[in-house]
Structure 1
């Protein structure tokens, strides 16, 4: 699997992609991930489903850089950068890429912020 671990190289190669769909986070009754859903997260209190939703309040930005799960500081650096712009973010790490969910109305600001490294 590999992936980049060096923070400076990661930040230079973010290659963020903004998806056109709106997303929502919702409680799920059963552990079923449909084809169009993005993620299912199991917590002690229950299941959270992240998926496309025409009335969703979140935009998805996926990073093109292949980051290692063992990379140190990427989430912190992205959070700090977005904090400087006053943008909240929920970050979900996959095996190969990181995905940020930002407020729909701030999606372009977030994309610009991530591109301005």
Structure 2
């Protein structure tokens, strides 16, 4: 199947969680920010993602590239791609993932891209986070979601 023939995005919470296949990237990344336009343009070539904020440009950079550009690299993170074609207007995937990790005291930053959601966790907690997300997926596939979003009805 080509990229242009991607499956229909999944919108329903249970289907998103049950269908996710968390994959842990090997490399470390860092979140960086700069108000220096020239540095932001230079860093953009290496960025996994970026966002323009009032304070400057936020970037997600591989640790080595960030260090080479002079950014602090004191909070290395690893990315877990959820590998489910989640719809941008789907409800519940972010809440389920964040709740499962928060329940185990693992901080996370979630970035929703067009096709998949990406969870960034501190590098030292990445393997544990992956195990938790795999268990969340397996539980949802067997039993349904382990939580009921507010307003979801009876």
Same fold judged by TM-score > 0.5? Answer: yes
Q: Which segments of structure 1 move beyond 6 Å, counting only runs of 4 or more?
A: none
Q: What is aligned with 1:48?
A: 58
Which structure has more helix as a fraction of its residues?
A: 2
Q: How does 1:1-117 map to 2 (within 5 A)?
A: 2-28=8-34, 29-30=36-37, 31-32=40-41, 33-34=44-45, 36-54=46-64, 55=73, 57-117=76-136
Unpaired runs of 5+ residues, structure 1, are none
Q: Find the residue that maps to 2:94 and give its secondary structure.
A: helix
TM-score by length of 1: 0.92
TM-score by length of 2: 0.71
Give RMSD over aligned pairs.
Answer: 1.5
Distance 1:27 1:45 in 2: 8
Distance 1:97 1:70 in 2: 12
Unpaired runs of 5+ residues, structure 2, are 1-5, 65-72, 137-154
Asked which structure has the greater CA Rg, the reply is: 2
Q: Find the residue that maps to 1:116 and give its secondary structure.
A: helix
